[in-house]
Amino acid sequence: MTSVQGTAVDVPTEDGVADAYLVHPGDGGPHPGVLLFMDAFGIRPHLRSMADRLASAGYTVLLPNVFHRHGRTPVFDLPEFIDPAARPEIWQQISPVMRSLTPDLAMRDAGAYLRWMADSPLVADGPVALTGYCMGARLALRTAGAYPDRVAAAAGFHGGQLATDAPDSPHLAAGNITAELYFGHADDDPSMPPEQMKILEDALTAAGVRHRCEVYPGARHGYTQADTAAYQKEGAERHWAVLLDLLERTF
What pLDDT score does 88 carry?
Answer: 85
Q: In the prediction, which pLDDT does 244 show? A: 98
- The contacts of residue 194 (CB under 8 Å, 6+ apart) are none
Is residue 1 pLDDT above 80, yes or no?
no
Whole-number Å distance between alpha carbons of 176 and 147: 9
Q: Which phi and psi (to 5°) does residue 169 adopt? A: -60, 140
Q: Rounded to whole angstroms, how far apart are CA atoms 89 and 217?
A: 29
Q: What mean pLDDT comes out for the span 12-35?
A: 97
- In this prediction, residue 48 has a pLDDT band, given cuts at 50, 70 and 90, of very high
Q: Tell me, what's the pLDDT at 150?
A: 98
- Give the model's confidence band at 2: pLDDT under 50 very low, under 70 low, under 90 confident, else very high: confident
Query: Which DSSP category does 82 fall into?
Result: B
What per-residue confidence (pLDDT) applies to 9? 98
**pLDDT at residue 138 in the model:** 98
Whether the CB-CB separation of 192 and 141 falls below 8 Å is answered with no
Domain of 159 in residue numbering reads as 4-250
Mean of the per-residue pLDDT values of the chain = 97
pLDDT for the residue numbered 84: 84
Q: What is the 3-state secondary structure (H, E, C) of the chain?
A: CCCEEEEEEEEEECCEEEEEEEEEECCCCCECEEEEECCCCCCCHHHHHHHHHHHHCCCEEEEECCCHHHCCCCCCCCCCCECCCCCCHHHHHHHHHHHHCCHHHHHHHHHHHHHHHHHCCCECCCCEEEEEECHHHHHHHHHHHHCCCCEEEEEEECCCCCCCCCCCCHHHHHHHCCCEEEEEEEEECCCCCHHHHHHHHHHHHHCCCCEEEEEEEEEECCCCCCCECCCCHHHHHHHHHHHHHHHHHHC
Phi, psi of 163 (to 5 degrees): -145, 85
pTM listed for this prediction: 0.98
Per-residue pLDDT reduced to its tens digit, 100-143: 999 999 999 999 999 999 999 999 999 999 999 999 999 999 99
Longest dimension (CA), the chain: 47
CATH code of the domain containing 188: 3.40.50.1820
Q: How many domains does the chain fold into?
A: 1
Model pLDDT for residues 55-110, shown as the tens digit of each residue: 999 999 999 999 999 999 999 999 999 998 888 889 999 999 999 999 999 999 99
pLDDT in tens, 146-161: 999 999 999 999 999 9
CA distance 251 to 222: 27
Does the pLDDT value for residue 10 go beyond 90? yes
> Region 166-173: what's the mean pLDDT?
97
Interval 217-236: pLDDT, tens: 999 999 999 999 999 999 99
Residue 126 φ/ψ, nearest 5 degrees: 105, 180
In the prediction, which pLDDT does 249 show? 96
